[in-house]
Amino acid sequence: MGYGVAGLASPPYPNGCLSSTNNQNANGSYLEDPNYTVKLPIVDDVPGFKWRLVIAYDGTRWQFQTSPPTIQCIVEKALIRGTKLERKDLHLVGASRTDTGVHAWGQVAHFVTPFNYDSLESIHAALNGLLPSDIRIREISPAVPEFHARFSAKSKVYHYKIYNDAVMDPFQRHYAHHSIYKLNTSVMREAAKHYIGKHDFSAFVNASRNDRVPDPMKTIFRFDVIEMGALLQLEVEGSGFLYRQVRNMVALLLQIGKEAIPPDIVPKILATRDRKELAKYALSAPPHGLCLVSIKYNEEHLRLPAGCPTTSFGRTHTVSKCKLPFY
């Protein structure tokens, strides 16, 4: 998701939509996080009421289309129909982008309307009714003017799932990478510790056709390797991530888990700041095992403004009385 916020330049994108899911820049991909650290002030002087969206989507379908529309475009079209506003009036802005085939449970965006809502449940239901079944709005809440889906973010949490067994669970095939090699999780944990802290991750970023220069200095707060039977869940939280950084970090851990290379290779590759050095040992892990789980924000920016409706988590229906005759 892109930059459509007052005070910031909006780069041109194809099909009249902002760059979005699965990295829809020149390579046609969708909403990972080429999370470039752009040192710009949070300037959002668009008048009106601001609303925060929490969005989930299954990246499976988008991976196999040659020219898919971006997920942001689809959400934007639903907003245009649901609010009866023009695209230029909505100022839809997303927190980050995910690569083609990557899933999200906690993607975040915000938009603006010139009017307030009495309740958010109706517009919430309307938007999900307009969206395809593999994209859902999980939450809609009012937001204070200071909130910005991208620049208010403190950290992002990604999970990468690996199914480590001889036979793949067919129910996991779209959401976990299958490794038939028995992985040594102890050495993977040892290696993952080397990622923690502030580092230059130039060796772990793929080249992206983008006119912005990425800041390679990123802080990783935690990198956990959790065993759940045959399923391994790699959980990483960081201040931001470069293009394919998470998938490249996971790919190296997979090679270490196979015991093909030692755990201390991680700081050595980091020190080179050279993507070609990583390529000697590992290619990017497949996208379908990766999911953007949550984005954490400055708590002050998440407070609910006065005079606005409460957060909508969706409308629940109940049957209070059977209207058919009982015999």
- Residue 138 sits in a domain whose CATH number is 3.30.70.580
- Residue 172 sits in a domain whose CATH number is 3.30.70.660
- The per-residue pLDDT of the chain, averaged, comes to 85
Q: Which two tokens stand for residue 153?
A: 């973010």
Continuous H helices in the chain: 60-63, 71-83, 87-90, 121-130, 185-192, 245-257, 265-272, 275-279
> Do the strands 103-113 and 290-297 form a parallel or antiparallel pair, or are they unpaired?
parallel
Question: Is the residue at 202 inside a domain?
Answer: yes
pLDDT score at 42: 42
Question: Is the residue at 15 inside a domain?
Answer: no
Domain identity same for 130 and 175: no
The domain boundary residue, chosen from 120, 151, 182? 151
What is the number of alpha carbons within 13 Å of residue 48 lying toward its C-beta?
Answer: 17
Question: Is the residue at 97 inside a domain?
Answer: yes
Beta bridge partners of 109: 53, 94
Average pLDDT for 185-201? 98
3-class SS of residue 7: coil
Q: Which two tokens stand for residue 288?
A: 């379908």
pLDDT score at 68: 64
Query: How far are the Cα atoms of 13, 139, 225, 284 from residue 252, in angstroms, in the given order?
Result: 33, 35, 13, 8
- Which residues carry out catalysis? 99
Q: Which of 13-27, 76-90, 257-271 has the lowest mean pLDDT?
A: 13-27
Q: Which two tokens stand for residue 2?
A: 């892109």
Question: Is the residue at 14 inside a domain?
Answer: no
Question: Is the residue at 123 inside a domain?
Answer: yes
Q: Confidence band (pLDDT; 50, 70, 90) for 167?
A: very high
Q: How many domains does the chain have?
A: 2
Average pLDDT for 133-146? 97
pLDDT score at 262: 97
Question: Is the residue at 160 inside a domain?
Answer: yes
Q: Confidence band (pLDDT; 50, 70, 90) for 210?
A: low
Q: Which two tokens stand for residue 6?
A: 């007052």
Question: Is the residue at 108 inside a domain?
Answer: yes
**Residue 172's domain spans which residues?**
154-292
- How confident is the model over 24-79, as pLDDT tens digits? 333 333 334 434 333 333 445 667 999 999 999 999 887 665 566 788 899 999 99
